[in-house]
Amino acid sequence: MSRLGNRDPFLTCLAVVTGGLVSSYLLDLGGATFQVASAWLAVAVCASLMAYYAYRTSRLMDRADPARRFWTAFGLAGAVWAAGEWAQVFAVAVDPTSAAAQTGTGLARTVALAAGCVMLSAAVLTYPIPRRSARERICYWLDLAILIMAAGTYGLYLTMSGVQLDRGNLIHELGAVAVGPMTAMLAAFAVGRLFMSGTSPFSWHVGVMAPIAAVVEGVARAVGPALARADQARWIFASALVAHALLLTVAWVQHQRYLLGPGMRRGARKRPYSRLPYFAVAATYGLLAVTLAVNGLDLRAWIALAGAIICNGLVMARQLVAFADNADLLAERDALATRLREIAFSDSLTGLANRAMFLDRLGEAMERVRRDGEISVLLVDLDDFKPVNDRFGHAAGDAVLVEVAARLRGCVRSTDVVARLGGDEFAVLLEQASPDGLSATAARIVRAIDAPCRVAGTEVRVGASVGVASARAENGDDAGALLQRADEAMYAAKVRGKGGFQIATAPAA
């Protein structure tokens, strides 16, 4: 079995045969009968093999894989195309000099081509893509519109290069002109929708070759009548053969990738964005620049200019949507950061600040004290809390802690910091409180917590021992020393009989 990384005998043979036939057509070798017969026979063989390998690829896939349905549709569409090509071979055998035989625009081939395209388009439209937000869907469709517009610009540009509009047969000529851009736009839609969805059912090689083949075939059909009138039908043969050789290569490469195992079954590499629309815009402007440099401001330059302007407008619309989406994402990020900070610095049970938040706010307050002012810390330890926990359970103990937290909030100003340091220990940070105000606040806390609390249908009581310590600029205290003095004062209050408070003496200056 050949490997895709090495020289592939099948692809080598295909390239040699296709290259030889195309060279003979372009060099006008072998005569008209040989050219028309060999071209459509080779095209029919390529279409048949393409249908076979596309269908075989689908049989190698898991039944749950959505790519299986896509490649099944590709194989069936290829079979319909092959039927049309063999009908073309029959028409050539009957009359190799007819216009239909020369241009490939016979009824059977045209109907088969349209039917196959409809089948493949249905598979593309029903192929599942990941769910997206509303703005992501808008960006996705704008990206797709950019790609389609650029492809349509190229298709119309190339079609107009080989068509001379004849007023006597204007409707027919306009129909021929429309084939090229419509084919290019359909190909761009199919490939772009799958590639930019992030779940492409084929590798990127396939995604490049397939639309090229579609554009080549579409342009060949569009300019075919004009080429036939100019006795240049060999260009039609070369284009049709190249297009079908590319499609056969697509089916063969994908088939080989599935035969080689899971490591080779990757589709398009997933990115959070797609580069295709930007390449499309750049290609459109490149087409405009080349046309202006070579031909000046002719009809094709106006086509390229119109396509570039429309693509640029779509890009601007897409960027505006992306900016709005980014603004929403930033707002969500800020809200999440705020929420995470609240979680990190809040006590989950009582909603008070936790130890980390209290120490952070105490550190900030100490910085202000070094410049001017005064702060005070009140450490509150509950008395007789363990018996409540032991008798009524942890749920009752939690209820008591929640009630104590609410009472502490009611005893201080809204600007003061109330925190649960852990277990049944709380702390209050006061700024610019007078000695009398400290005593009043400590006494208020003791009275508030001493009031009965109803838990599990009965009243329970806990008390509070409060230690108070203050820091001033002239004392040279740090946060650790301040907390140490408040802790010593709190234990002194417990020793005195619980249910009271003690104010620590200021350290010697």
Tokens 């296709």 belong to which residue? 18
End-to-end CA distance of the chain: 91
- Beta bridge partners of residue 503, listed in sequence order: 468
Predicted confidence (pLDDT) per residue in 90-120, tens digit: 888 888 877 767 777 677 887 888 788 788 7
Tokens 């080429």 belong to which residue? 227
Cα–Cα distance for residue pair 462/444, rounded to 1 Å: 15
Query: What pLDDT does residue 233 have?
Result: 75
Query: What pLDDT does residue 138 have?
Result: 83
Cα–Cα distance for residue pair 229/69, rounded to 1 Å: 42
Q: What are the extents of the domains in the chain?
A: 9-128+199-269, 355-503
Predicted confidence (pLDDT) per residue in 294-308, tens digit: 778 888 788 888 888
Alpha carbon of residue 97 to chain centroid: 54
Using DSSP, how many helices (H) and how many strands (E) does the chain show? 16, 7
Query: What pLDDT does residue 240 have?
Result: 84
Predicted confidence (pLDDT) per residue in 56-95, tens digit: 988 888 888 888 888 898 899 889 989 988 998 888 888 8
- How many C-alpha atoms does 353 have within 13 Å on its Cβ side? 18
- Report, at the CATH architecture level, how domain 355-503 is classified: 2-Layer Sandwich (3.30)
Confidence grade of residue 402 (pLDDT, cut at 50, 70, 90):
very high
Residue 435 has pLDDT above 80, yes or no: no
Residue 321 has pLDDT above 70, yes or no: yes
Residue 391 has pLDDT above 50, yes or no: yes
Are the beta carbons of 460 and 388 closer than 8 angstroms? yes
**Cα angle: 245, vertex 263, 3; to 5 degrees:** 45
Predicted confidence (pLDDT) per residue in 447-501, tens digit: 999 999 887 778 888 999 999 998 876 666 788 888 999 999 999 999 888 889 9
Q: Rounded mean pLDDT of 273-290? A: 80
Cα–Cα distance for residue pair 44/33, rounded to 1 Å: 17
Which pTM was predicted? 0.54
The percent of residues in the chain predicted with pLDDT above 90, rounded, is 21
Cα–Cα distance for residue pair 270/194, rounded to 1 Å: 11
What are the φ/ψ torsions at residue 34 (nearest 5 degrees)? Answer: -60, -40
Are the beta carbons of 428 and 408 closer than 8 angstroms? yes
Instruction: Give the C-alpha distances (Å, rounded to integers) separating 476 from 65, 358, 359, 480, 506.
Output: 72, 20, 18, 12, 11
Cα–Cα distance for residue pair 52/75, rounded to 1 Å: 6
Residue 418 has pLDDT above 80, yes or no: yes
Cα–Cα distance for residue pair 137/306, rounded to 1 Å: 26
Q: Quick one: CA torsion of 352, 355, 358, 363, rounded to 10 degrees? A: -170
Question: Which DSSP category does 474 fall into?
Answer: G
Q: How many residues does the chain have?
A: 509
Handedness of CA 481, 483, 484, 489 (dihedral sign): positive
Of the candidates 38, 34, 72, 69, the one whose C-alpha atom is nearest the C-alpha of residue 55 is 72
Query: What pLDDT does residue 86 have?
Result: 92
Residue 215 has pLDDT above 70, yes or no: no
> Strand ranges (DSSP E) for 325-405?
374-383
Cα–Cα distance for residue pair 401/405, rounded to 1 Å: 6
Residue 48 has pLDDT above 90, yes or no: yes
Instruction: Give the C-alpha distances (Å, rounded to integers) separating 423 from 232, 382, 401, 430.
Output: 93, 9, 9, 22
| pLDDT mean across residues, the chain | 81
Q: Rounded mean pLDDT of 157-166? A: 58
321-328: which pairs have CB atoms within 8 A and are 24 or more residues apart? Answer: 321/135, 321/138, 321/139, 321/142, 322/135, 322/139, 324/135, 325/133, 325/135, 325/136, 325/139, 328/135
The amino acid that residue 36 corresponds to is: V
Cβ count near 34 (within 10 Å):
14
**Cα angle: 10, vertex 14, 18; to 5 degrees:** 175
Alpha carbon of residue 52 to chain centroid: 35
Of the candidates 224, 213, 273, the one whose C-alpha atom is nearest the C-alpha of residue 246 is 213
Alpha carbon of residue 467 to chain centroid: 57
- How many C-alpha atoms does 186 have within 13 Å on its Cβ side? 22
Q: Rounded mean pLDDT of 386-399? A: 88
Phi-psi region of 422 (alpha: psi -120 to 50; beta: other; left: phi over 0): left
Q: What is the largest CA-CA distance in the chain?
A: 121
Cα–Cα distance for residue pair 147/313, rounded to 1 Å: 13
Query: What pLDDT does residue 403 have?
Result: 92
Query: What pLDDT does residue 116 have?
Result: 83
Residue 429 has pLDDT above 80, yes or no: yes
